[in-house]
Structure 1
Amino acid sequence: MIKKHGSAIWNGTIKGGSGMVSTESGALDKQPYGFKQRFEGEPGTNPEELAGAAHAACFSMALSLQLEQAGMEAEEISTKATVSMDKVEDGFEIMSIHLDLTAKIPDVEEAKFKEAAENAKAGCPMSKLFKGAEITLDAKLA
């Protein structure tokens, strides 16, 4: 079993308070976050942005594996994950995540590329974590 951890500290009220988020690796070390970053577009990080980055990274690695298993190797895989959170009856919920993928792969058949991308979308651990959300994918070759 592989275990990784992230941590957060929050002080104060939801609107007036602030927090810090950190990762085990130190990639994030007491990165500030708060209500304005999350709900009002103020610069800084927020949980949805971090989830999107994690999903994009996981999907990109999963695609690399799928391509390798199909006899292909990408020069570059670039993925952007857009996490959409909506207000629902009992608060907020992540309803959908859209993956925008552009890959540079020499001598590739587009059908094999699309198949590998769909397999990566279905099989990546972050996609499985978000299985309650609709996950969509636009995959194109550069």
Structure 2
Amino acid sequence: MKAEAYSNWIGTWKEGSGSIATKTPTVKQQPFSYASRFEGAPGANPEELLAAAHAGCFNQALANNFGMIGLTADSIITRVEIIVEQDEHNRPSIARSHITVEAKVAGASEQQFADCSERARAHCSISRILTCEITMAATLHG
């Protein structure tokens, strides 16, 4: 399997602009700039795409972990926040990824949910490539 995405850029780091797109029609030429990436202006940013990828990857890993112990999720809702901070050289760097997950899984105990969630946090393929801290808040609904 191979996933592809594309980006173009024209101009300087702070005054320039570009776009981000995926090979599939999932993300079609979304504009982005310094302002959309670091100042909250309208437009896309790479960290938002990383957050979406991490949330989706985590959800599949969590569902797989439930399946390995004979459980099926009724629902898994995950939000991932990618936190960007300045590093020691005053460069923007991804400092951490925070996962907030709520799930409804018939028959799951709190311990099973905690174990499956932690395993997904630590071992989904996106988590494994990130070198930043990955934190989590997990809630099992009855």
Task: Please classify the TM superposition score into its range, dividing by the shorter chain length.
Answer: over 0.9
TM-score (norm 2): 0.94
Alignment-mate amino acid for residue 94 of structure 1: I
| Distance (Å, rounded) in 2 between the aligned partners of 1:116 and 1:20 | 37
| Distance (Å, rounded) in 2 between the aligned partners of 1:43 and 1:105 | 37
Which stretches of structure 1, 4 residues or more, deviate above 3 A after TM superposition? none
1:111-126 equivalences under 5 Å are: 111-126=111-126
Structure-2 residue corresponding to 1:139: 138
Structure-2 residue corresponding to 1:93: 93
1:43 Cα deviation (Å)?
2.1
TM-score (norm 1): 0.94
Residue-by-residue CA offset, 1:89-136 (whole Å, 9 max, x unaligned): 331211111100001111211110110000111110000010x21101
Structure-2 residue corresponding to 1:22: 21
Structure 1, unmatched stretches of 5+, are none
Mapped pair 1:45 → 2:44 = yes
| Distance (Å, rounded) in 2 between the aligned partners of 1:93 and 1:39 | 11
| Distance (Å, rounded) in 2 between the aligned partners of 1:73 and 1:34 | 41
| Distance (Å, rounded) in 2 between the aligned partners of 1:43 and 1:106 | 40
| Distance (Å, rounded) in 1 between the aligned partners of 2:137 and 2:49 | 21
| Distance (Å, rounded) in 2 between the aligned partners of 1:44 and 1:22 | 13
Alignment-mate amino acid for residue 102 of structure 1: E
1:88 Cα deviation (Å)?
1.4
Residue-by-residue CA offset, 1:54-96 (whole Å, 9 max, x unaligned): 1011001110100111111111111111111111133121111
Alignment-mate amino acid for residue 127 of structure 2: S
**RMSD across aligned positions (CA):** 1.0
- Worse-matched range after superposition: 34-43 or 88-97: 88-97
| Distance (Å, rounded) in 2 between the aligned partners of 1:106 and 1:45 | 37
Structure-2 residue corresponding to 1:106: 106
Between the aligned residues of both structures, percent identity stands at 36
| Distance (Å, rounded) in 2 between the aligned partners of 1:135 and 1:89 | 20
SS of match in other structure, 1:41: coil
Alignment-mate amino acid for residue 24 of structure 1: K
Residue-by-residue CA offset, 1:1-45 (whole Å, 9 max, x unaligned): x21111101111112211111112110010111111111111221
